[in-house]
């Protein structure tokens, strides 16, 4: 086990997490097509929320779009952070993506070899995705048995960036497919060797985010203004939002030629 260099960690968070997150957020704002996004929204919800001005409607659309987009982006970047941390502390390696499926990282801690699949949160997948993970762990166990390895020296883990679920074993009916689900504090402890690591990353994340926030707010406000003008050109008549046009955009059947 190696000691994690705090300066290197801060640099990684700055360059590989916050800078990339900010870049992708700005990209999303600059490429956002308000009409295209609106086409995939439920217009009745806007009415139910008493949104009546172009800016209110546009802001609601953009905020919902960004919220979903940002959660995916940031989750992926924090997964990359966890791979980096594990590599620095335990010499963990990122496994290559293959068609049969592979966990994200492989490392050794306290003479136990860990195969870990990293996800953002505990409720990450549907039944088919979870079944695929189980089959991946089963395949690896079978390969280890063929190589006459002692399975008691191996652990198979679904690790989650946040959450409180921690179970020693999932899927007890088939031991070859079983795995531990370790989330939040326990997950970061597993890959970093520090029980407080899940709190230690708050400070560098906060400091680096503050450096980038002004640029993002400027672009966000600009996008709201631009999208509101486009929305008004399409859906405002006589100083009122034409809800019929909006509902037709999202729901009208195309007439045959």
Q: How far apart are CA 198 and CA 191, in angstroms?
A: 11
Strands 236-237 vs 154-160: parallel, antiparallel or unpaired:
unpaired
Contact 112, 157 (CB under 8 A): no
Which neighbouring-strand residues pair with 179? 170
Instruction: Please measure the distance between the N-terminal and C-terminal CA atoms of the chain and give it in whole angstroms.
Output: 70
Q: Residue 125's pLDDT is what?
A: 83
Alpha-carbon gap, residue 38 to 45, rounded angstroms = 12
Across the strands, what pairs with 108?
A: 113
pLDDT digits (tens, 9 = 90+) for 118-156: 999 898 889 999 999 999 999 999 999 999 999 999 999
Structural contact between residues 53 and 92, judged by C-beta atoms closer than 8 angstroms: no
Q: For the chain, which ranges sit under pLDDT 50?
A: none
pTM of the model: 0.85
List the structure tokens of 252. Answer: 């009208």
Between β-strands 179-183 and 154-160, what pairing exists: parallel, antiparallel or unpaired? parallel
User: Coil, strand or helix: which one is 112?
Assistant: strand
Q: How far is residue 122 from each of residues 72, 87, 163, 198, measured CA to CA in Å? A: 14, 23, 6, 16
pLDDT of residue 100: 78
Segment holding 145, helix H or strand E: helix 127-146
């Amino acid at each position: 086990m190696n000691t994690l260099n705090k300066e290197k960690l801060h640099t990684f968070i700055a360059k590989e997490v916050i800078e990339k997150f900010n870049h992708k957020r700005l990209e999303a704002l600059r490429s956002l097509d308000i009409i295209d996004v609106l086409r995939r929204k439920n217009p009745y919800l806007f009415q139910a929320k008493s949104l009546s001005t172009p800016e209110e409607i546009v802001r609601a659309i953009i905020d919902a779009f960004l919220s979903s987009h940002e959660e995916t982006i940031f989750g992926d970047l924090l997964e990359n952070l966890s791979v980096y941390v594990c590599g620095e502390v335990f010499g963990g390696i990122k496994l290559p993506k293959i068609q049969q499926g592979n966990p994200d990282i492989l490392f050794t801690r306290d003479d136990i070899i860990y195969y870990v699949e990293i996800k953002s949160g505990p409720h990450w997948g549907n039944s088919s995705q979870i079944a695929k993970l189980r089959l991946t762990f089963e395949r690896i166990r079978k390969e280890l048995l063929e190589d006459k390895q002692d399975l008691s020296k191996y652990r198979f883990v679904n690790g989650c960036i946040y959450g409180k679920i921690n179970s020693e074993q999932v899927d007890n009916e088939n031991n070859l497919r079983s795995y531990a689900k370790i989330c939040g504090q326990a997950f970061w402890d597993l890959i970093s060797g520090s029980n407080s690591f899940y709190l230690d990353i708050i400070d560098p994340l906060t400091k680096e985010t503050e450096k980038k926030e002004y640029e993002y707010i400027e672009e966000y406000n600009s996008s709201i203004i631009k999208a509101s003008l486009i929305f008004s050109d399409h859906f405002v008549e006589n100083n009122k939002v034409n809800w019929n046009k909006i509902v037709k955009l999202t729901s009208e059947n195309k007439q045959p030629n």
